[in-house]
Amino acid sequence: MTKLRQDLRNIAIIAHVDHGKTTLVDQLLKQSGIFRSNEHVEERAMDSNDLERERGITILAKNTAVQYKDTRINILDTPGHADFGGEVERIMKMVDGVLLVVDAYEGCMPQTRFVLKKALEQNLTPIVVVNKIDRDAARPEGVIDEVLNLFIELDANEDQLEFPVVYASAINGTASVNPEKQDETMESLYESIVENIPAPIDNSEDPLQFQIALLDYNDYVGRIGIGRVFRGTMEVGQQVSLMKLDGKVKNFRVTKIFGFFGLKRQEIQKAHAGDLIAVSGMEDINVGETVCPVEHQEALPILRIDEPTLQMTFLVNNSPFAGREGKYVTSRKIEERLRAQLETDVSLRVENTDSPDAWIVSGRGELHLSILIENMRREGFELQVSKPEVIVRDVDGVRSEPVERVQIDIPEEYVGSVIESMGERKGEMLDMINNGNGQVRLAFMIPARGLIGYTTEFLTLTRGYGIINHSFDSYQPMQTGRVGGRREGVLVSMDKGQASQYAILGVEDRGTIFLEPGTDVYEGMIVGQHTRDNDLTVNVTKVKAANNIRSANKEQTTTLKKPRIMTLEESLEYLNDDELCEITPESIRLRKKILDKSERERSQKKKKTAEAN
């Protein structure tokens, strides 16, 4: 008979972004009595990074553990965004069950499907948590039907289809098995975890097998491998072998082992089968590698890591304003920072180019790369980046591109224009559901390059009322013809200086302006969007000539239209092939690759001639 560790449960919390995973973990931590009564605990305590707090999203998987009666529950909070799906997949290997959190109003969303598919593929035991049950518009019965249909669609086995359901309000810290009435605590959720999630097998007597699923880095101890002890025991001071991905074997001594408790890592001397731990002492350690005894070398199956689907060129800033605002501006510093990111981010690739001042950086999506850029910017880096491009692959001899599954929720009156705009970007409609409350849900398959730059257009089309979500589906044969991209030209500054109100007034009827009066500009910098499809060079620094003649309309006040100030993501999406985005700690500027107007025109002529031939 198999021996089990009844004192332990390992679970992952999975959900679509913003369905309340992290808030739920907060409550499980607070109610387990892990914090002292006078200890201040921040909201969304698991989101430790500034960007995670600001955006309200989880970017990195985090582990914690709570004690419920005699059982220790290890909890992994996973990212909901498909861009960080690589983390989700590896976490599934470390746990025995999942809490699938679904919003009581929104129901199943694209990333619900994405994360659940990964869990079912690993044969994990699910518990469904219908969260936000306190919302006025909550529809628990309808949501459970949707979840059941999704399980069936994803080929769940009979045991998985018999999933237990807990209704919760994470924000209020309550849960119950009855949708009509909430208990005062989350007791029913703890009970459900202990009863339904399988206990890990206790094979501590067998030879050690520990696999790395996540990486961390610390200046004091170097790389830290986080993973699960699948078999045997591990002790501080033990001599072990690291089975590398390339088949090589390295021997090392375990210097430190950390267990997780609450939000803290605690040093422990020994870990047993089923434990989730962090280990230091190995410099050259990577995700998917196995640690085992020197005399019993047996590697676990390698973990699959999602390949990047999008790439950008990162360049040293060479604009006329280079070095004015940043602390780190040299190619050496930028390369060091990108290499440091590779220490912990396994879905990222950095390749050198012919130029020592440029690197091709590939990631899982726009969000993945824009978060890296935003972090670098906050650390004091200056750099330039090119337009994001999808990575084309050869699949069975056919040129193939990544295709995304898109789900759109919009008010009825915008259905026609959204379907038309998706059609222009080669989107194929899969489904259309009218919820009967004036809201329509549309599902599409669309080439990933068709989505670059679409968010801004979508929000304009739906006046901000639309919700769009997408996740990577598969690689499919490349579509011919133009897919997506910006159709309008831009207004380009012809001069260096300060933008003046007088000059902006003179050009604002030509398009949409991107900057406020008083902003420093340089020749070749993009200052607005043209109403037509060609670029137009304009002077935004001109000042009104001073003379002593009174104008008849002197007393009339002129007001400028509000400029369109773009965020980092919007700026990256906006770029065309001949443009760059200059990023510094204080500014985000769009510019032409070739700043000089006559050189730019010569280059375009050459390009047209080459295309004609």
Give the mean model confidence (pLDDT) for residues 476-505: 85
Last residue within a domain, chosen from 271, 293, 315: 293
Residues 175, 36 within the same domain: yes
Q: Which residues contact 260 (CB under 8 A, 6 or more apart)?
A: 63, 64, 65, 74, 266, 276, 277, 278
In this predicted structure, which of 303-307, 350-354, 370-374 has the lowest mean pLDDT?
303-307
- Assess if residue 576 is contained within a domain: yes
- On whether residue 301 sits in a domain, the answer given is no
Do residue 57 and residue 155 come from a single domain? yes
Query: Residue 408: which residues within 8 A CB-CB, separation 6 or more?
Result: 418, 422, 441, 442, 443, 444, 458, 466, 467, 468, 469
Residues 115 and 60 in one domain: yes
CATH number where 565 lies: 2.40.50.250
How many domains does one find in the chain?
Answer: 4
**Are 473 and 495 members of one domain?**
no
Domain boundary (477, 506, 534) is at: 477
* One domain for residues 274 and 131: no
User: Given a cut of 90, is residue 609 above it in pLDDT?
Assistant: no
Mean pLDDT of 68-76: 86
Pair 78, 125 in one domain: yes
**Residue 132 annotated as binding?**
yes
Residues 19, 61, single domain; the answer is yes
Burial pattern 348-382, b for ≥16 Cβ within 10 A else e, equals bbbeeeeeebbbbbbbbbbbbbbbbbbbbbeeebb
Final residue in a domain of this structure, among 162, 196, 230: 196
Q: Is 21 annotated as a binding residue?
A: yes
* Residue 61, pLDDT score: 45
Name the amino acid, one letter, at 478: M
Tokens, residue 381:
């880096």
Is 23 within any annotated ligand binding site? yes
Average pLDDT over residues 485-505: 87
- The reported pLDDT for the residue numbered 313 is 94
- Is 70 exceeded by the pLDDT of residue 147? yes
Predicted pLDDT at 380:
92
- Write down the pLDDT at residue 547: 65
- 507-537 per-position pLDDT tens digit: 888 989 999 999 999 999 999 999 888 889 9
What is the per-residue pLDDT across 13-63, written as a single tens digit (0 to 9) for each?
887 666 676 788 778 777 766 544 444 444 434 434 444 344 444 334 457
Together in a domain, 159 and 67: yes
Q: 301-310, 487-496, 570-579 — which is least confidently predicted?
A: 301-310
Instruction: Copy the structure tokens of residue 594.
Output: 């070739």
Residue 307 lies in a domain: no
Domain-located, residue 95:
yes
| pLDDT, position 1 | 60
- Structure-token pair, residue 309: 């689907």
Q: Are residues 274 and 228 in the same domain?
A: yes
529 domain residue, yes or no:
yes
* Residue 22 annotated as binding site: yes
Residue 180 shares a structural domain with residue 41: yes
Mark whether 501 and 398 lie in a shared domain. Answer: no
Domain assignment of residue 502, yes or no: yes
Find the DSSP H helices in 109-262.
Answer: 110-121, 140-153, 158-161, 187-196
- Torsional sign, CA 231, 79, 477, 410: positive
Asked if residue 610 has pLDDT above 90, the reply is no
| 569 part of a folded domain | yes
pLDDT digits (tens, 9 = 90+) for 189-219: 889 999 999 998 888 888 888 888 887 776 6
Is 426 among the domain residues? yes
- Write the CATH number for 397: 3.30.70.240
Dig out the tokens for 251 from the structure. Answer: 């021997």
Q: Are residues 424 and 571 in the same domain?
A: no
Check residue 350 and give its pLDDT: 93
Digit-coded pLDDT (tens) for 396-409: 889 999 888 888 88
DSSP class of 414: G
Residue 435 is part of which domain span?
393-477
CATH of the domain at 115: 3.40.50.300
Class of residue 61 by CB neighbours under 10 A (exposed 0-12, middle 13-18, buried 19+): buried
